Every structure is written in structure tokens, then in C-alpha cells.
Amino acid sequence: MLKVAIVGPGLVGGALLEQLVAHAKSPRFASLPISVAGLINSKKMAVTTTSFSEADLKNWKTAVLGSTAAPADLGSFVEQLAALKGPVAVVDCTASDSVASQYPSWLSKGLHIVTPNKKAFSNDYALYHKIKELSSSPKGPSVYHEATVGAGLPVLSTLNDLVRTGDKIVKIEGIFSGTLSYLFNNFSVPGAASKFSECVSVAKASGYTEPDPRDDLNGMDVARKVTILGRAAGLDIGTDTLPVENIVPEALRSVDTADEFMNRLPEFDGHFKELNDQALASGSVLRYVGMVDVQGGQSSVKLARYALDHPFASLKGSDNIIAFTTERFPNPLIIQGAGAGDAVTAFGIFSDLIRITERFGSHL
């Protein structure tokens, strides 16, 4: 039985718990036994030596992390997990730098790690290298982070398969942000009449953007994903060395609030209209794209033009699309689909938990 403990069970963690509860009642459970043995949020924590019941997990906010639960102490939580019998996977559902920095300590205690948290794999290269070193043994512990790029899309697993089978990666190019995908799929398309600020407003109202849309428009989320893919492909790159185009107008980068940013963004509609008109006049559209240029050394994150017959130009909604150009796939291998959302991100995490269960099945 693989025991799972979730750090930061918010929306994604809650969706994962729903999927694990359903799994426990399915025929698949017999060959892939996974239970939940720990939960911790910013205030409360709970660890059990067995597993939480279906009733507890369906009402985890009150039944497991209610008023009678112990005060949150991540260090104590991890020590209790390390003392449990059998394999334990810690699922970090936070976006915290400080939590990610503790991965080497968790691995040294024999704990597996599964996470959608991009920080450990895109921040300091020394931390990334230490995590890879501590998880390199075939006997474990292991680290899986499929959901850091493309949520539940099989992006990292595909890249790892290409690398492990000896294929030579030429480049990886993609639209990695659901927010920026939605914006430019609606703004930069023949016949569209909406102004850029209007598209941002609709995206914000629909929940596609961060509370402050500048956190999407500055390109750093895409840069983290490009860094993760680049490192997985063997490059020594980081967000500090990667050229990243920040499309937030310079005059609005330092305004105090998101509301002020949104109120003033229409002042720059002319700038975005000019860029779009130029693209459309050349038979192209604008797309915000990240590129891992393995052979050419020109990895980047930027707003670029794509011809109308290019797969990136025909993307709809907020989908992600990633194209792998390799020696074996000179016509790119393309992965496309929803790259954000609680259920699909939880699916990506769940898939990694299954990989651990299968990989260490003889030890379960």
C-alpha cells in the first residue's frame, strides 16, 4: 500500500482526494493500492498509521483538519510520515519556495515526492541537481512532477521517454500558458474585433488569469516551464538566464494594484493593435510561446508570429500545445489539450502516484 500525504490540500489537493476516493472503490485498487495517510495546511495537520476513511476524506476540511486536529508543523508532519511502515509519497500542492527547498531533506528520509510545484525544478540549479542526485537510485526514493508542465498533459513523460530511448531533441516549442493561450486565441485571429484590454478583462472575469494579470503577462510562469523542460532535455538553463519578453507595458509594471493596472491598460490598446495588424497583414497571428532550443542555443519566451496554417494558429480556448522536434520526429510530435484546471492537474499528480506504485510494487 502506497501511503499518500498532501501538503496544501486546496483546490487541486481536494480534486486529488476525490479521485483517490473513487479509485479506492474501483477494481483497479487491488493492483494499485493507494491510501491517504496525512494532510497538512497552513493551520492544521493530521497523520494516521493506517488510512483515512472515505467519509473523512469527503469532508476533509472538518473531519480531518477540523478544530481537533493538531497545529500545523511541517517538520513534525514529515517526521511522522517517515516513521510510517511502507512507502510514503508526499504530494506538495503548494507553490512555495520554502516547501520546495525541503525536498532533499524529505528524500533523505526515504519519502517519495510528487508535485505540481514548479519552484524546485526551475529555481536554483544546485537545488535541482541535489534533488536529481537523491532520487537517482532505482531503489528509490523517487521524484515525479508531470503536473509542473501542462498539468495533466503527458509532456514531461514524453520528453523523458524521448531522452531515455536515445532520440536527439532539436527543439521543444509550445504555448504553455492557458491564460496567454486564451488571450491571443481571442485577440489575434482574422476577423476579431476585441481590443486587447477587453480580452484581458474577459479572461480575468472568467477566472483564467491570476488575481493580478501582470503575473501572467510578465511571462515568468512560461519561463519556469521552459526551464523545467530545458533541464530535462539536458540544458543548464534557468529563469535568470532565459530571455523572457514581458508584455506588460513598461509604464504599468510598477503601478500599485491590479485594479489600477486594469483601469489603465486601455491606454495601450493601440500598441497591441499595431502588433496584431502587422501580424495579420503578413498572414500570421500572434502567440505567446516558449522555446527550448537544444541544438541552436536560442531558448526563449516571447510573443511571436505564426502563419495561419501553423498548428499554434488554430488553437482554441485556453488549450496548451507543445511540439517536440527531434531526430526521429522531424515533423513535430504534438501534444495538445487542457493545460490548467484542478481536475486535470490532479490527474497528472495521480498518474505519478500510479507510476510510484507500479515502480515499487514489489515493496508495497
Distance between CA atoms of residues 118 and 283, nearest Å: 36
The overall pTM is greater than 0.75 = yes
* Nearest CA-CA partner of 179 in 205, 156, 159: 205
Distances (CA, A) of 135 to 53, 225, 353: 31, 21, 15
What does DSSP assign to residue 244? B
The SS3 call for residue 273 is helix
The number of residues making up the chain comes to 364
Question: What is the residue-level pLDDT of the chain in tens, covering all 364 positions?
Answer: 999 999 999 999 999 999 999 999 999 999 999 999 999 999 999 999 999 999 999 999 999 999 999 999 999 999 999 999 999 999 999 999 999 999 999 999 999 999 999 999 999 999 999 999 999 999 989 999 999 999 999 999 999 999 999 999 999 999 999 999 999 999 999 999 999 999 999 999 988 899 999 999 999 999 999 999 999 999 999 999 999 999 999 999 999 999 999 999 999 999 999 999 999 999 999 999 999 999 999 999 999 999 999 999 999 999 999 999 999 999 999 999 998 889 999 999 999 999 999 998 655 5
The amino acid at residue 310 is H
Phi, psi of 107 (to 5 degrees): -65, -40
* Nearest CA-CA partner of 229 in 283, 295, 299: 299
Active site amino acids: 225
